[in-house]
Structure 1
Amino acid sequence: MFRRATRKTLALATAAVTVVGLTSACGGSSGSSGGTVNLTYMIWQTSEEAAYQQSIDVFEKAHPNIHVTIDLVSWAQYWAKLQTSAAGRNMPDVFWDHLEYLPELAKEGIITNIADDVKSSKLDLTQYSPKLLAEWENGSTIYGLPKDWDTIATIYNAKDLTTAGMTPAQLGSLSWNLTDGGSFVAALQKLTVDQNGKHPNQAGFDAGHIKQYGIALEAPNGQQDWWDFGVENGCELQDRAYGAWTVSSAACVQAMQFEQDLMYKWHVEAPGTITNTPNAAALPQILAQNTAAITFDGDWDLDTYQSSLPAGSWGVAALPTGPKGSGTVFNGLTDAIYSGTKHPAEAWQLEEWLGSAASEKIVTDSGTVWAAIPSLDSGFITAWKAKGIDVSAFYQGSQGATIGYPLTTSGTAFTNVVLKDMNQVWLNQMAPQAAANDITSVSNAAVANGD
């Protein structure tokens, strides 16, 4: 299970409640008083609330007849609350939507197809990242204006790099392969040390008593670990959006196997007994405690690293490249409009504002999220440079090969089987090929059954 508040991760899906069976008929959470329309805007990330409140303040000045209340609900409770709200016909008018839940929300008619609003407002959709926009379009439907994006990069403990005689530039230029692990594994061997000061490639290394691992990865997540290895090995999770699962392909299985080998063949990655336990430390704490020297994480966690590690003690580098080159998981959110809102016109005005260059600039220039409008992305880099952190590796990743978040109506079945099987893989209790076969079989059966 995932152990911290986060914006985008597969691993917490088991804590979320399916939205199947919800109805959009009637209702809505908004009301009006004295000519003022009250809208509720539900989000889940504490570190982003201030920036969005600043944006809302500007919106309200331009729309004095509309008042917006931000409802902050942690990710762990977010989707369950959304279900309860829908059942009680008291949904937020506008709320953050995630690609994992998009197909189900759309299927149940809970979110609004904004295509007609976009057309009537003559909104220029070309201002958005084409990759982001494509994720939220399905035929003639559009289920939200892209508001942000994220990728995965390497986060490192600067002191650990120095001790290993390695520079951040060297860390960002590593590569891995399926035979000897490449320069990536060689670097992780330098960063891994047992209680006697031995490294994995030295005689007398004690794999049973490792003091510091080279790397610790979120497991059995996918988004922050083997999916990234996968895209760099030519793995595709699906044959197409809303299509069949292809997790059992050789390219995907090899990526899983590579990560399992990092743990149990090369002994350079913290095993599942450390990262999978319910009370395990979050990745920023793992680096702060020197349990591991580096990790892969999303830019949504930058504030957590900033608050967990002393200034100047950590940094960001590019992911290692793989057999097929560089690559990363690429994901983004939109603001969804509840189809049963009592104030659809005002809700669209809020949606349009939040997806505008003016609003996205406010949020991006604060270093909160990358903008879905590419021309604004330099503001995020500048904001973090002022904090002493070069975050350009995240941007560089977005410009290369990427793997998007899976789009499927069988998301619940996929998530459940992934968490069950991959947990066993990371505990060295199941072979990657067996896990991949089971994941593919169960998930495709759910697609065929319409689950």
Structure 2
Amino acid sequence: MSAATTRALTAAATGALLLGLTTACGSSDAASSDGTVTLRYAIWDAVQQPALQKSIDVFEKQHPKIKVKIELNPWAQYWSKLQTQMAGQTAPDVFWDHVAYFPQFAKQGVLTDLTPYIKSDKLNTSVYDAKLLAGWQQDGKQYGLPKDWDTIAQVYNKSMLKKAGLTQDQLGGLTWNTTDGGTFVKALQKLTIDVNGKHPNEKGFDAKHVKQYGLALASANGQTDWWNAATQNGCKLQDKAWGKWTLDQQSCVQAIQFVRDLRLKYHVAVPASVTNTPNGASLPQVLARKQAAVVWDGSWDLNAYQGSMKGNFGVAELPSGPVGKGTVYNGLSNALYAGSKHPKEAWELVKWLGSEESQKIIVAEGSVWPGIPTLNKDFVAAWQKRGVDVSAFSKAAEGTTVGYPLTTSSATYNVKVQDAFNQVWLGQQSAEEAADSVNEESNAAIK
């Protein structure tokens, strides 16, 4: 998620702390006199809607008695509206679910267990990535089918990288350490220039008047920045899925400190005062404006870069840390609302959206990586037609990854981490103090 997205996640998480959800008795009845059922399908990304509509058009032809109405609610309003609808027992029949909300929804009984449907239809779930499928399971129950996946990579401005004499392969082959920053920091120093044309490793560099930074990071919760550095340093965010947070271990603190140092010690990353504020610049904006030459971002933002940079961007793997490469690996699911009055028809839609036929239609548009890994090559091909090699994302997915934390305290974490870690990025609190406080309060909120 982009900075704007994660800020919205935090706001929605705050609402989740206050809103007590109950298992709904039923969504609004949408059956017509001729027996045709209209299902409501909630999504948040307008970029994906055209591809989804193509898929749904095929679904409706195959199921003439089922109509599907897409309800598009931007991310900033999506979760608060969905939670309100659930409380009022009027939620959409099918909706996009995020791992940050899944534990809470599963606990509150607003998700349908798909296991009986899967068994009855003898659905072959082995076509999905096992890690993605497992991410939507709790107590032996399956609460969603994988819709897509995402990882984090380095997105760079082609002209800026070329001017500095660096290549994509060089960028993806860099390493960092906690002593002197490694080749990663050295490369970022080449890409960072003050108003007088000096670099951070040159005498007279003016850190208060930087014209161009090497790197931009912007994540409220850590998904696009320090979670990745933490993985590359051997840090585990949790002791186990659904377990306790372990942010206070030294390997995590070191990674947080390194991300802080990129901004405040090495002066090669855009200050948090620019990116990590309520109205801060998004990573695609920073790269397009040449405020930074490289950003760490998720594959969900590819279309944003294409729209603003017209192919003048590339994608490289993240650098290696002390224990090697690593990235956050996440994905969405299509979930079936427990209060739907048309559960059988809603299951048909969920099953269709998770099918290879449907995901092929969506992948051809290049909006998201597919939940079925055999189709990854089709996504790469779709972007190659646009002149962009996006394979760094899939290479990352095949390597060392850390899943989005599965915990019932994600709402508390998302609120606490934004305040504490922004203080770290601004030099107002130590990495250790922030990690300790967020870890303690997040664990205290586990239900």
Q: Could you tell me whether the CA contact under 8 Å between 2:3 and 2:275 is conserved in 1?
A: no
1:146-173 CA-to-partner distances (Å, cap 9, x unmatched) read: 1110000100011111111111111111
Moved more, 131-140 or 333-342: 131-140
Partner of 1:271: 271
Deviations 1:109-160 (A, max 9, x none): 0010111111111011111101101111123100011111000010001111
Given that 2:149 and 2:370 are in contact with CA atoms closer than 8 Å, whether structure 1 keeps it comes out as yes
The separation in 2 between residues aligned to 1:279 and 1:220, in whole angstroms, is 13
CA RMSD between the two structures: 1.4
> Which residue of structure 2 aligns with residue 169 of structure 1?
169
Matching residue's letter, 1:180: D
Instruction: Write out aligned runs for 1:52-91 (5 A).
Output: 52-91=52-91
Aligned to 2:289: 289
Shift of 1:15: 3.6
Runs (5+) with no aligned partner, structure 1: none
Query: TM-score scaled by structure 1?
Result: 0.96
Please give the per-residue CA displacement for 1:257-286, whole angstroms capped at 9, x wherever unaligned: 000011111110111111122222211111
CA positional deviation for 1:372: 1.2
Matching residue of 1:446: 445
Distance in 2 separating the partners of 1:15 and 1:28? 22
Tell whether the 8 Å contact from 2:424 to 2:431 is kept in structure 1 after alignment: yes
**C-alpha separation in 2, matches of 1:30 and 1:165:** 62
User: Counterpart amino acid of 1:424?
Assistant: Q
DSSP 3-state at the match of 1:248:
coil
TM-score (norm 2): 0.97
Cα 1:221–1:174 change in 2 (3 A) is same
Q: Answer yes or no: is 1:14 the counterpart of 2:11.
A: yes
Map 1:235-254; keep pairs closer than 5 Å.
235-254=235-254
Partner of 1:24: 23
Report deviation, 1:424.
0.6
* Counterpart position of 1:194: 194
Q: Given that residues 24 and 87 in structure 2 are in contact (C-alpha distance below 8 angstroms), is that contact kept between their aligned partners in structure 1?
A: no
C-alpha distance in 2 between matches for 1:88 and 1:434: 41
- What percentage of aligned pairs have identical amino acids? 54
Extract unaligned runs of 5+ from structure 2.
none
Which residues of 2 match residues 391-406 of structure 1 at below 5 A? 391-406=390-405
Cα shift readout 1:345-365 (whole Å, capped 9, x = no counterpart): 101111110111111111112
Moved more, 332-341 or 217-226: 217-226
Supply the distance in 2 between the matched residues of 1:351 and 1:15 (Cα, whole angstroms): 25
Divergent runs of 4+, >6 A: none
| Secondary structure in structure 1 of the residue aligned to 2:155 | strand
Tell me, yes or no, if structure 1 residue 411 matches structure 2 residue 410.
yes
Spell out the pairing of 1:143-158 with structure 2 (5 A cutoff). 143-158=143-158
Write the distance in 2 (CA, Å) between the matches of 1:221 and 1:387.
31
Aligned to 1:426: 425
CA contact (8 A) 2:3 2:219 kept: no
Alignment of 1:106-145 (within 5 A): 106-145=106-145
Q: What's the offset of the Cα at 1:220?
A: 3.2
Alignment of 1:321-336 (within 5 A): 321-336=320-335
Look up the SS of the partner of 2:146 in the other structure. Answer: coil
